[in-house]
Amino acid sequence: MNIDMNKVTEILERNPKEPGAIIAVLQDFQREFRYLPVPAMVKASELLHVPLSKVYSIATFYNAFSLTPRGEKVIRICKGTACHIKGADKILEQIEAGLKLKPGETSADMKYTVEVVNCVGACAMAPVLIVNDKYHGKVRCDQAMGKVKRG
């Protein structure tokens, strides 16, 4: 996968060049590329003086970061306790069938990524389905795919 190194430089330019800024930089990479490209991490490590092993440690620790490209739309299904009881499994089934993707997978056309997450702190609206940054609550099985397509 080829990435635009100018974008990497741009992101590094606008952030402070100190170890404490590493997470912010990685977040910017994630937003820009929808994953963390290796050359970008290497550059950040050099410029911010954070050992590469530590950059990788952070990159693999947080779920918000991904090491493989994610799709344009990231579909997250909450399977926390409340959502689980409210039938998150059924919602997931609908989405797996509708997109032909299993949790953790991304479609070949890079349009969709499906992820299962733990409690997102919105239990009152369980079951919760998140499409990119939009939270959908009290989702019904027959609505799930519609929400995925519309955002």
Partner 1 sequence: MAHITINGKVVKAHEGEMLLAVIKRLGIDVPALCNHEAIEPTGNCRLCMVEITRPEWEGWKKNVTSCLYPVEDGLIVNTHTPELLEIRKTLLDLQLARCPNSELIQKMAEEYGVHETSYIANVEGDNCIMCYACTRICEVLGKSAISAVMRGQKKVIAPPFGEEPVDCIGCLACAQICPTDVIPYEDKDGIRTIWKKKFELVTCKNCGKTIVTRDFADYLIEQRRIPHEYFETCDDCKRLELAKKMGGLITKAAEVAV
Nearest 5 degrees, angle CA 102-CA 104-CA 106? 80
Q: Which of 116, 119, 131, 145 binds ligand FES (CB under 6 A)?
A: 119
Q: Which of residues 21-50 bind partner 1 (CB under 8 A)?
A: 38
* Angstrom distance (rounded) from CA 77 to CA 103: 9
Residue 57 contact partner, candidates ligand FES, partner 1, none, CB within 5 to 8 A by sort of partner: partner 1
* Angstrom distance (rounded) from CA 102 to CA 106: 8
Does 120 contact ligand FES by CB under 6 A?
A: yes
Min separation Cβ 98 and partner 1, Å: 29
Min separation Cβ 52 and partner 1, Å: 5
Order of strands, sheet of 73-78, starting from the edge strand that comes earlier in the sequence: 112-117, 73-78, 129-131, 134-136
Provide the binding-site residues for ligand FES, judged by CB under 6 A. Answer: 78, 80-83, 119-123, 126, 128
